[in-house]
């Protein structure tokens, strides 16, 4: 069983082995959380990684905003609730200062946070605080490389909440500008729509379908064009509304 980001595991778990490629640039991380022990534990964990540097830590909004503007870290790990005034002020500071910092939210699984709103505010990744240390490290590297990070369970939760906010009897297609052309999808494209709705990433879909990742991207491009959607979340919502998200 993988250890998760509890205080005990942060202080006792052996961190992921540092990478040995010296050509990889150092990722500067700012850690924001009100719980000192949890925050400092994560800082110690990240400091043990060869490709990461803890630029600073903060536990209040003024300190967080000042640190963000002064240190301009690559990644900000933020433990405040998605919809809290604290997190909103941090996102606002990033936008006002035009800082290129990417934010990863450390979300509590037992709190009904609005992950969709976090994405709209500019969040680049959402990691449950109960996730494994290995996945936390991986998420930082992926987001730093320009990817958006949502684990499969979080993706499923985002999709579920989108679907819940949009009742089946509402005119989803009209409001999102989606075209009623699901019948134009090939069998392969329908399989990809199902996997997207279930939260699978391109690489995972390629492995399951025994095709290349580039082929998956090509299929997604065609699907977006046929259905008139602009991203994976809209595609997932379309799939749910038209009952395409489960194998027939």
Q: What is the pLDDT of residues 125-171, one digit of tens each?
A: 888 888 889 999 999 998 898 777 876 666 666 666 655 555 444 44
Range of the domain at 86: 7-150
pTM surpassing 0.85?
Answer: no
- Judged by average pLDDT, the poorest of 12-16, 50-54, 160-164 is 12-16
Q: How far is CA 231 from CA 108, 156, 176, 223, 228, in A?
A: 26, 15, 11, 10, 10
According to the model, what pLDDT value does residue 9 have?
A: 41
Per-residue pLDDT band for 112 (boundaries 50, 70, 90) equals: low
Residue 81 within a domain: yes
Lowest mean pLDDT among 119-128, 211-220, 229-238: 229-238
221 C-beta neighbours (distance < 10 Å), count: 10
Q: Give the span between the Cα atoms of 62 and 170, in whole angstroms.
A: 43
On whether both 203 and 104 belong to a single domain, the answer is no
Q: Are 194 and 244 in contact (CB under 8 A)?
A: yes
Clarify whether residues 213 and 137 are in a common domain.
no
Judged by average pLDDT, the poorest of 56-70, 120-134, 171-185 is 171-185
Residue located via tokens 């690489």: 203
How high is the mean pLDDT of the chain? 78
Same domain? For 48 and 141 the reply is yes
């Amino acid at each position: 069983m993988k250890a998760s980001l509890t205080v005990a595991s942060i202080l006792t778990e052996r961190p992921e082995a540092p990478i040995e490629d010296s050509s990889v640039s150092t990722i500067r991380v700012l850690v924001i959380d009100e719980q000192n022990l949890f925050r400092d534990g994560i800082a110690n964990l990240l400091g043990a990684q060869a490709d990461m540097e803890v630029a600073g830590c903060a536990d209040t909004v003024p300190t967080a905003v000042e640190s963000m503007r002064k240190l301009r870290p690559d990644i900000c790990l933020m433990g405040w609730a998605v919809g809290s005034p604290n997190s909103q002020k941090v996102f606002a500071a990033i936008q006002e200062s035009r800082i290129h910092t990417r934010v990863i939210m450390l979300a509590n699984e037992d709190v009904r946070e609005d992950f969709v709103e976090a994405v709209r505010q500019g969040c680049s990744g959402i990691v449950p605080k109960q996730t494994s240390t290995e996945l936390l490290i991986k998420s930082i590297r992926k987001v730093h490389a320009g990817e958006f990070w949502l684990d499969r369970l979080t993706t499923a939760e985002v999709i579920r909440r989108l679907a819940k906010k949009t009742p089946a009897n509402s005119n989803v297609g009209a409001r999102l500008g989606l075209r009623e052309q699901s019948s134009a999808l090939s069998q392969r494209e329908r399989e990809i729509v199902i996997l997207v709705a279930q939260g699978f990433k391109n690489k995972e879909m390629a492995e399951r379908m025994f095709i290349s990742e580039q082929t998956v991207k090509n299929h997604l491009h065609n699907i977006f064009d046929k259905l008139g959607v602009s991203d994976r979340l809209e595609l997932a919502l379309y799939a749910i509304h038209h009952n395409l998200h489960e194998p027939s």
